[in-house]
A and B are shown apart, each in its own frame.
Chain A
Amino acid sequence: MTLDEMPRDRRGVVTALDTRGAERRRLMDLGLLPGVSISAELRSPLGDPTAYEVRGTLVVLRGHQARTVHVELEDR
């Protein structure tokens, strides 16, 4: 699934970034690298944007960015 589909009460592991160039670079700089654990923390009323917790800080992504981040749900 992609990050925007991940349920609020779960954590996921980033498996891939389906984007290129500056956008990809930026996501990686913000700590979204394959193998990193991530969770959705704060959602705006319509879900876009959403704040995610990754490597100890909150990172806010728009829906179109979150859709490029592939995740696998972690076991509860």
Chain B
Amino acid sequence: MRGPGGGTEDLPTPRPGPSQDTHDSHDAAPGCASCALSTGGARLARLGLAPGRHDHVVALAGNPNTGKSTVFNALTGLRQHVGNWSGKTVARAEGGFTYGGARYRLVDLPGTYSLLSTSADEDVARDALLFGQPDVVVVVVDATRLERNLPLVLQIRQITGRVVVALNLVDEARRHGLTVDARHLTRELGVPVVPMAARRNEGIPDLLAAIAQVAGTEDAPAPLRLVHKDPALEEAVTELAGRVAGRFPGVPNARWVALRLLEGDPGIEAAVRDGTLGELATPATPVERAG
């Protein structure tokens, strides 16, 4: 997957990856910039499939059928197929956009309820979030089924604090007589929660502003630290996390890794064994600059 090297400020370091070494000349067309006026304002230029070099990587996660692809299309101007069935986004789709002078690469992950079960989709999503180290993870949640969607948000919050919650389908929730207190949710989750109706382009400017804010910040919230009620489990997690942190200093989510190891997660076991986990020791926090 992508190597380390966080998306800090102006660093132009290209990440190894399939879709980025070409099309640099293919800048945002003027026509594109004008169509952006209708959605994100003049500061959004959709780059479609030609993201070229980028300053920040943004991953798009969420349960199946929450409108991830609609959000993806609204941001990139692409028309990735939107369909109302699960498992539609099989691998990952990528696109790009610029906002506020910075270039973003957007990766649309498969819809999952969890990052913990062993299905191919969940592995793709989990590996992209953990090893891809995106600068921002946008978790799209369905405002009409918040209870069902929040477990994934909490799982992702245990991996990273660089999260924006896109509270999608608020129009549908409204029709059902539901309003969600986004400010309260923001306080509880410790990350921005942006109410939106992506298919009507409502809330896209706010989402962009939140993405830019998280991408640009040097002190994102720490990964969520769950304290387990079972004292034996808590003790085991704490001890193992200490050893993970000792072996791989700088890993931002040692407790989460420890819990996965205790559950016998084969992907995480492999990452510990072959040292892939060590690459997380250069996280998306500012790196000391030489010279």
Give the chain A neighbours of B114 by CB distance below 8 A.
Answer: 25, 29
- Taking the nearest CB of chain B, how far is it from the CB of A34, in angstroms? 13
- Taking the nearest CB of chain B, how far is it from the CB of A14, in angstroms? 13
Give the chain A neighbours of B148 by CB distance below 8 A.
Answer: 31, 55-57
A29 near B117: Cβ-Cβ < 8 Å? yes
- Taking the nearest CB of chain A, how far is it from the CB of B126, in angstroms? 12
**Per-residue interface assignment for chain B, residues 200 to 227, with 1 indicating a CB less than 8 Å from any chain A CB and 0 otherwise:** 0000000000000000000000000000
A46 within 8 A of B: no
B144 near A25: Cβ-Cβ < 8 Å? no
B116 within 8 A of A: yes
A57 near B145: Cβ-Cβ < 8 Å? yes
Give the chain B neighbours of A31 by CB distance below 8 A.
Answer: 113, 147-148
A56 near B145: Cβ-Cβ < 8 Å? yes
Other-chain contact of A29, B144, B147, B151 (Cβ < 8 Å)? B151
Interface residue tally for chain B (C-beta within 8 Å):
11
Question: Quick one: which of A29, A55, A57 has the most chain B CB within 10 A?
Answer: A29
Residue pairs across A and B with CB atoms within 8 Å: the count is 25
A43 within 8 A of B: no
Other-chain contact of B116, A29, A55, A56, A57 (Cβ < 8 Å)? A29
B145 near A29: Cβ-Cβ < 8 Å? no
A26–B122 Cα gap in the complex (Å)? 11
A25 near B113: Cβ-Cβ < 8 Å? no
A26–B148 Cα gap in the complex (Å)? 14
A29 near B113: Cβ-Cβ < 8 Å? yes
Given known contacts A30-B113, A55-B145, what 10 new A-B pairs fall within 8 Å (CB)? A25-B116, A25-B117, A29-B113, A29-B114, A29-B116, A29-B151, A31-B147, A56-B144, A56-B145, A56-B148
Return 25 A-B CB contacts under 8 Å, by A number. Answer: A22-B117, A22-B118, A25-B114, A25-B116, A25-B117, A25-B263, A26-B117, A29-B113, A29-B114, A29-B116, A29-B117, A29-B151, A30-B113, A31-B113, A31-B147, A31-B148, A55-B145, A55-B147, A55-B148, A56-B144, A56-B145, A56-B147, A56-B148, A57-B145, A57-B148
